[in-house]
Structure 1
Amino acid sequence: MAALAAATAAALAACGPATGGPAQGAGDGPGKGTLTIGVSLSLTGDFADPGKAAKRGYDLWASDVNARGGVLGRKVSLKVVDDTSNPNQVTTNYTNLITKDKVDLVIGPYSSLLTIPASQVAKRYGYAFLEPAGGGPKVFAQHLDNLFFVQPAAIVKQGDIFVDYLLSLPPAKRPKTAAFASLDDPFAAPLADNVRKRLEAAGIKTVYAQTYPDNLTDLTPVIAKVAAAKPDLLVSGTQSEDAYAQVKAMIQLGFNPRWLFVSNGANNPVEFPDKVGEDNTEGIFTTGDWFAGSQQPGAPGFVKAYLAKYGGQENDIDTTSAEAYSVGTLIEQVAKKTGKLDNETLISALHSGTWRTPVGDLSWDANGEPKGHYTLVQWQKHRLTPVYPAGTAAAGPLTAKPAWGE
């Protein structure tokens, strides 16, 4: 993955100065023409489920803002293309969106894997790059001033709130041993490594740790080794499909750790219970920035609009949809505050102050890394429930995971 990102950067640099895109003056100006926004999403491939959730969020914002008269009087039109969850295709897509389709703005795909090459294309052509789902360390290590990750904190810090919770317990009630099973992915592995370092520093012993390749679909052998180590706690650094596979393997092997933290996949209120069984979710910890019942500014309005457009129940809304919707609200806010909307203005404005969104109050450092923190949530009674910190908790955490199927 690192080699791919480096090769992409080198290829872009070799092309010489960029020309041809509306990088400095998005389209026709206030009240004139259509505001065309390009986005590459994983509508097929490994990231298809969250990719489609992101599309729902983007589409919802576009329909909402158009009902309000558009952005500075300009109707929003989204041009969405499928990247098939492939980094090479995402590079091609954003290059074409900017140089051939000449879109006014671009917004981000799903995953750090795709965000890295996509953001390099955007930087090459002088475009702002607001993205809802690429927060791995390598994203920010690019030092791109045009990139803004639209979640409360970097992904590697997503597990910090879980560690904070564990360390808030009396030492006698904390886990004594921990195992770590993580996907070889720029999001998943660094998150698990960060949790491991903090727990080891607090005296919690690591009894097993493995990073498995991204093409491994049967995780039973991995979980069998975890189970043999008999840890009190399992930290699973995951994306979506491998999260489901890990849980299925635990159920099959009858391995039920007292504490189970699953970084991604488990925070999907729709796909996770569908993939692993609704009765197999109880007691699993994960983290989130939006959840059913959230009272963050704009969150109730987002929920109302989502249910009106797509139906269903609040508990069925994917957090990725809220994150993608928040990308749009930031574009709208910058336009309202500055009276104009171009890439240079977006970049400059977002690097100043704090901006309110349905996923929280956001601000960023020079590399696009957010400065906030996540909320610890736990599956309780078939729904994701905020349990820590106390100021946002809707219930107390279950300190021992129930048996599977309970």
Structure 2
Amino acid sequence: MSSRRKHTWGVAAALSAGALVLTTACSGDSGGGGSDDTIVIGVSLPLTGDFSEPGKGVQRGYEAWAQMVNEDGGLLGRQVELKILDDQSSADRVVQDYEALIAKDQVDLIFGPFSTRLVVPSARVAEEYGMLFVEPAGAAGEVFEQGFENLFYAAPAIAEDHYDYLAEYLLGLPEDERPQTVAVASMDDPFAQGTAYGLRDKLAEGGLEIVVDEVYPPNTTDFSSIAAKISSSGADVVVGGTQYQDAVNLIVSLQQLNYQPRLAAFSTAPTNPEFSAAIGAKTEGILSPTGYTPEAAWESNTDFVERYTEIHGSPPSEDEANAFTTGQVVAAAVEAVGCAEQGDCQQQLIDWLRDAEVDTVVGPLSWDDAGRPQSAHLIQQYVDGEIRIVLPEDAQEADFVFPKPAW
């Protein structure tokens, strides 16, 4: 885009407000928009159901953002109040929630939910009402093919590009060192499949053979048959298009069969703090893409990690960081435009972001006309029991280990 405007927003500058007021409610609860002293932000999250684990991480990120906003003096000098509803991981429910938040409760602003399955229907509601829609977890390509003009993804890259650095590395290896076969198992979910298939397709184009390619429903708990196919194939690389519990169940099933790939890559599960213990602390070599690392030296990230750790006793993970980034992006627009309410203000916020670059805890973000971020994901790997950035080389915290049995 031409005439790009650079706006730098640290935590203290862009985020502010007094005491955190958090309302967690059901869709039928009554409520209202903000007052002269309060800005109310409506959110629907999967706090129960299939996406509850990452959904709660997003909730923690939103709450941390609001608390820091409120500690730092206010967004436009006003307190921030979050009104969070539980959509129960249901697309029908998320539509009802955003309808209620916007039309009935008259919230001033909205933040997006977790999961592409929930982002697309809720973005349609937001567009119908002319609301700015910044979201932390709708990364699948289909999100950006709907023609939304109000949507912005608050992360460095979309799902299909998450593993670009890994594909580039593997295909750049000498022929006799390169893996030859790949087994893929993915949840029937746009984000999970987007991440897994982006890597699958790049490796296949580079000459690797896809020997297993399985899709399973989101509620799958028994992975014995899929694990047996993968184990029998003897694939060099296993790629999991996973959320959290499905990855744990698949890995445990593969462990029981003594299957040892040379490399294992999963969409999101390794970023979860409980992941290592859930699979018996046998994580060495497992990979995942990430748009975030607590060690990143971005100015606002240093403050975010310190203050988040004070609140929770541990550093934030990617889900929390992307939620926090959503708050930063919306705050930057609100402070720049000088308003935060329904009506004409929303289009001003959208227009400002279309031609802006915003400094966040995941780095500088800018977007194309469809809301795609214009950056790249890092590749992280468990090395000596700790998850470290290994690709690209100029960002690595440890050397990429390959080949390495994954568990």
**TM-score, normalising length: structure 2:** 0.88
Contact kept, 8 Å, 1:176 with 1:232, in 2: the verdict is: yes
> Number of residue pairs matched?
372
Query: Is 1:276–2:279 an aligned residue pair?
Result: yes
Contact kept, 8 Å, 2:155 with 2:373, in 1: the verdict is: yes
SS of 1:320's partner is helix
Contact kept, 8 Å, 2:247 with 2:269, in 1: the verdict is: yes
Measure how far apart 1:350 and its partner are. 1.1
Query: Is 1:71–2:75 an aligned residue pair?
Result: yes
* Unpaired stretches in structure 1, ≥5 consecutive residues: 1-21
What residue identity is the alignment partner of 1:262?
F
Distance, in Å, in 1 between the alignment partners of 2:202 and 2:398 is 25
- Aligned residue number for residue 180 of structure 1: 184
Query: Is 1:374–2:377 an aligned residue pair?
Result: yes
* Unpaired stretches in structure 2, ≥5 consecutive residues: 1-31
Distance, in Å, in 2 between the alignment partners of 1:395 and 1:377 is 9
Contact kept, 8 Å, 1:143 with 1:366, in 2: the verdict is: no
Greater mean deviation of Cα atoms: 317-326 or 96-105: 317-326
What residue identity is the alignment partner of 1:47?
F
Instruction: Give 2:211's match in structure 1, choosing from 207, 212, 221.
Output: 207
What residue identity is the alignment partner of 1:247?
I
Report sequence identity in percent.
38
- Aligned residue number for residue 116 of structure 2: 112
Distance, in Å, in 2 between the alignment partners of 1:99 and 1:173 is 59
Distance, in Å, in 2 between the alignment partners of 1:403 and 1:153 is 26
What residue identity is the alignment partner of 1:118?
S
1:54-133 map, 5 Å: 54-133=58-137
Residues 201 and 402 from structure 1, CA distance in 2 versus in 1: closer, same or farther, beyond 3 angstroms?
A: closer
SS of 1:250's partner is helix
Superposed structure 1 runs of 4+ greater than 4 Å apart: none
- Aligned residue number for residue 16 of structure 2: none
Distance, in Å, in 2 between the alignment partners of 1:208 and 1:308 is 45
What do residues 226-268 of structure 1 show as CA deviations (whole Å, max 9, x unaligned)? 1111111111111222111111111111111011111121222
- Aligned residue number for residue 137 of structure 1: 141
Contact kept, 8 Å, 1:292 with 1:384, in 2: the verdict is: no
Contact kept, 8 Å, 1:260 with 1:401, in 2: the verdict is: no
**TM-score, normalising length: structure 1:** 0.88
Query: Is 1:288–2:282 an aligned residue pair?
Result: no
SS of 2:395's partner is coil
SS of 2:190's partner is coil
Distance, in Å, in 2 between the alignment partners of 1:85 and 1:148 is 21
Residues 293 and 179 from structure 1, CA distance in 2 versus in 1: closer, same or farther, beyond 3 angstroms?
A: same
1:2-401 map, 5 Å: 32-268=36-272, 270-278=273-281, 280-311=282-313, 313-314=314-315, 317-341=316-340, 342-401=345-404
Measure how far apart 1:100 and its partner are. 0.8
Measure how far apart 1:219 and its partner are. 0.9
Greater mean deviation of Cα atoms: 251-260 or 165-174: 165-174
SS of 1:91's partner is helix
Measure how far apart 1:132 and its partner are. 0.4
What residue identity is the alignment partner of 1:328?
G
What do residues 36-79 of structure 1 show as CA deviations (whole Å, max 9, x unaligned)? 00001111111111111111111111111112211111110000
Contact kept, 8 Å, 2:159 with 2:198, in 1: the verdict is: no
Contact kept, 8 Å, 2:289 with 2:378, in 1: the verdict is: yes
Measure how far apart 1:161 and its partner are. 2.1
Distance, in Å, in 2 between the alignment partners of 1:208 and 1:242 is 17
